[in-house]
Structure 1
Amino acid sequence: MALDNLQPASGSTKNVKRVGRGQGSGMGKTSTRGQKGQKSRSGYKIKRGFEGGQQPIQKRLPKTGFFSRVAKPYSINVDKIKQVAELEEITLDSIKAVYKLSKSVTKVKLIGTAAKDLASKIKDENVTTTGK
């Protein structure tokens, strides 16, 4: 085996289809494009979603809103829920112990007038307060 006699594996390559090279080639005259029409012309390119003039499916179906992948925090008003304000150390787990939250809640924001005073008690990066 040497570099001068390397060949691809049998069946791995195909001959190029040479169109428009005369009647004897079997692919002359219309060059495998059929008869007349838009598809037979040079420069033809179909637009994405084009359905031959029929209203495309992305225009026929109703549009539904926007779903942000950024998780919005669950807001808790500490003026109304006193158990959260009375905690010694505020973490996500300690809030879940005194206030009923679903398992899907990963971030909590404490709001209300007393929320600013609780900033020193927070020991978890998933719990924030209003910054005003």
Structure 2
Amino acid sequence: MRLNDARPQAGSKKRRRRVGRGIAAGQGASAGRGMRGQNSRSGAGTRPGFEGGQQPLYRRLPKLKGFPIVNRKEYTTINVSKLNSLTANTEVTLISLKEAGIITAVAGPLKVLGDGELNVPLQVQAAAFTATARSKIEAAGGSCEVV
């Protein structure tokens, strides 16, 4: 086989459709664009996203304000200042706080935040601590345990 013998596969090459060249060509008169209307005319059509005067989709939708975190972790939060009312050396858990009436709703695992002051040594068991909460609990003579 030589380079001048190379031919495309039989049936792989289709001829270009010549539109608007008479009835015999199969695409005569309206050239496959239909009878009337905006899209049958020559020249540029409409801009992308134009819906014929209807409010377009990109204007019907609200503007995005960032993206939500998928499978976001919900915590039951409590500040260190709320733990001041407990007695010294108490073991603090999510259940004990609910029983004591310090928290009312349980939205998920307990997270201790560092707002306020703590003067009582406590043994706190929680899923998460902020850095300030951990330092304030340990400064008061208590301990932090991640459950």
TM-score normalised by length of structure 1: 0.45
Q: Which protein is richer in strand relative to its size?
A: 2
Which structure is larger by alpha-carbon Rg, 1 or 2? 2
